[in-house]
Amino acid sequence: MSQKQMRIGMSLRGHGYHLAAWRHPDVPADASVRLDHYIHTAQTAERGKCDLIFFADGLGIRERDVPRGALARQGRDIVDLDPLTLLPALAMVTTHIGLVATASTTYYEPYQVARTFASLDLISQGRAGWNVVTSWSEAEARNFNRDSQLEYATRYARAREFVDVVQGLWDSWDPDAFLHDKTSGLFYDERKLHVLDHQGKYFAVRGPLNVAPAPQRHPVIVQAGASEDGRELAAATADVVYCLPDTLEAARAYYVDVKGRMAKYGRAPDEMKILPGLRPTLGRTATEARAKFHALQALLHPLVALSTLSSTFGDLSSYPLDGPVPLEQQGPQDLRSISERLRDRVRRDHPTIRQLSQQVAGMGSGYNVIGTAEEIATVMQTWFEQGACDGFNITPPYLPGGCDEFVDLVIPVLQERGLFRTDYEGATLREHLGLKPAVSRYARAAEQPTAE
């Protein structure tokens, strides 16, 4: 039996992570905008004792209509509920599970983000998490008064300062600042209020935050650091990292690299939990699992499959589907790390355009497992025990069925093997994840020895 246990998040992205999920007979076509759909999946994930539910998000329709007509047939990421509006509703129908959503450091302001997540932490009694993203698409830029994205290095430099400002604002009030003393007339103790007065390269924010101290002091910081700049940002700031390695070897290399960067920021390796994306297609037999995957693949429209290559290779609709992938073709490279991996795959495996598009559309990014609960649990155990991760962020191929099946079939196997909890150990997301309590920068400064 393993002496430590893995952490598990459940990603609740609309219809699910397979591009044809919206066409699945058991998936409501309008699921991505239905509160009852999200309530069901959130409560199912909590029934399985998952650490958190995770909402990736973008500020616009980020996919391009390349080839023409693909976008109207895609379904995924076209319309969704704003997760920062949705999560407070889900906080009211859950009691333990962490609530993580995206907010962009490029298109939000630090005060706004600090206020929103501190409020969510209060509403949920300590279960909030902020997924820090810099945003990558031109569509988002055009929705926010810009013709193009900020330069890559600038986005990450801005993000580093952004997180620092947000954490400073979360430290505005000491935990016992509010006296609420009706007899004396003192609402708060002035000595326990801290004005940030930040003046930096990208932001000038005075503070203090007009929200009381969050139960976690700092809501959990989640980040998806794949590039060099992303890995540095993760090592400096993240409590949880969501990543997309597609092999055990790549996962182990990533784990060692990112955790190895933490010491220079004064952080211990266990202060961060690395959770690779895992997409399980489950069956009670291996044959049934493969049949489920092939049924989803059969629902893929050819244009949708081809569109998955456009960011890396541009429009390939004029090339023969059964011909080689033209490496000389260049798309906008929206997500650099994914594009590099895709080009490496073409050089290594020499697939046809049809083969690659079907594979990318069906399997997506990250690691995919098709099999029984025991087979999937064994893969998870291998990665966990061989130093490739601290757990997983599950990206079900379709919802709600993919979440239901994972909770009902895989989690009991993990529990039987001693790899996953049978009940929540604490009340806050930090406690679920085994993270140390966050300490205010002012408390840390007060603890520093003074020079004589």
Q: What is the 3-state secondary structure (H, E, C) of 7-57?
A: EEEEECCCCCCCCCHHHCCCCCCCHHHCHHHHHHHHHHHHHCCCCEEEECC
Residue whose C-alpha is closest to residue 66's, from 404, 435, 329 = 329
Same domain, 375 and 358: no
Domain check: are 353 and 391 in the same one? no
| pTM confidence score | 0.92
Contacts of 425 (CB under 8 A, 6+ apart): 431, 432
Q: Are 222 and 238 in contact (CB under 8 A)?
A: yes
d(CA 228, CA 233): 9
CA separation for the pair 209, 174 (Å, rounded): 12
Residue pair 414/5 in contact (Cβ under 8 Å)? The answer is no
Backbone angles phi, psi at 188, to 5 degrees: -145, 160
Q: Which pLDDT value is given to residue 342?
A: 86
Tell me if 298 is assigned to some domain. no
Domain assignment of residue 302, yes or no:
no
**CA separation for the pair 305, 354 (Å, rounded):** 8
- Asked whether residue 277 falls in the same domain as residue 330, the answer is no
The pLDDT of residue 180: 97
User: Which of 143, 310, 312, 163 has its CA nearest to residue 230?
Assistant: 163
What is the C-alpha to C-alpha distance for residues 83 and 60, in angstroms, rounded to an integer?
A: 13
Please tell me whether residues 128 and 99 are part of one structural domain. Answer: yes
Residues 215 and 151 in one domain: yes
Would you say residue 303 lies in a domain? no
Long-range Cβ contact pairs of 64-70 (< 8 A, separation 24 or more): 64/139, 64/307, 64/310, 64/311, 65/307, 66/307, 66/310, 66/314, 66/315, 67/303, 67/306, 67/307, 67/310, 67/315, 67/316, 67/317, 68/317, 69/303, 70/301, 70/303, 70/304, 70/306, 70/307
Per the structure, how many domains does the chain have? Answer: 2
- 45 is a domain residue: yes
d(CA 124, CA 424): 15
CA separation (Å) from 239 to 222, 244, 272, 420, 436? 6, 17, 4, 19, 10
Asked if residue 276 has a cis previous peptide bond (ω within 30° of 0), the answer is no
List, in sequence order, every residue forming a beta bridge with 123; answer none if it has no partner.
none
345 and 205 fall within a common domain: no
Please indicate, yes or no, whether residues 359 and 369 belong to a single structural domain of this protein: no
Claim to verify: residue 357 and residue 409 sit in the same structural domain: no
446: number of Cβ within 10 Å: 8
Q: What confidence score (pLDDT) does residue 287 get?
A: 97
The one-letter code for the residue type at 422 is: T
89 C-beta neighbours (distance < 10 Å), count: 14
Look up residue 327 and give its two tokens. Answer: 């490496």
> Do residues 314 and 408 share a domain?
no
How far apart are the C-alpha atoms of 417 and 334, rounded to whole Å? 41
Domain boundary at 327, 343, 363, which?
363
- The CATH number of the domain holding residue 136 is 3.20.20.30
**Cis preceding linkage at 25, omega within 30:** no
In a domain, 393, yes or no: yes
Residues 146 and 267 in one domain: yes
Structural tokens at position 149? 């994205």
* 301 occurs within a structural domain: no
Q: Is residue 27 part of a domain?
A: yes
Q: Look at phi and psi of residue 49 and say left if phi exceeds 0, alpha if psi is from -120 to 50, else beta.
A: left
Does residue 121 sit in the same domain as residue 226?
yes
Residue-number span of the structural domain to which 352 is assigned:
309-363
Structure tokens at 117: 């997540």
Statement to judge: residues 176 and 124 lie in one domain: yes
CA distance 169 to 182: 27
Give, as one character, the DSSP assignment of residue 445. Answer: H
**Cβ atoms within 10 Å of 54's Cβ, excluding its own:** 28
Q: Which residues neighbour 30 within 8 Å (Cβ) at sequence distance 6 or greater?
A: none
Q: Measured between alpha carbons, how far is 372 from 206 in angstroms, rounded to an integer? A: 55
pLDDT for the residue 44:
98
> With a cut of 50, which residues of the chain have pLDDT below it?
1-2, 452
Residue 174, domain member (yes or no): yes
Q: Which of 206, 211, 223, 207 is nearest to 163 (CA)?
A: 223
Q: How far apart are CA 332 and CA 321, in angstroms?
A: 21
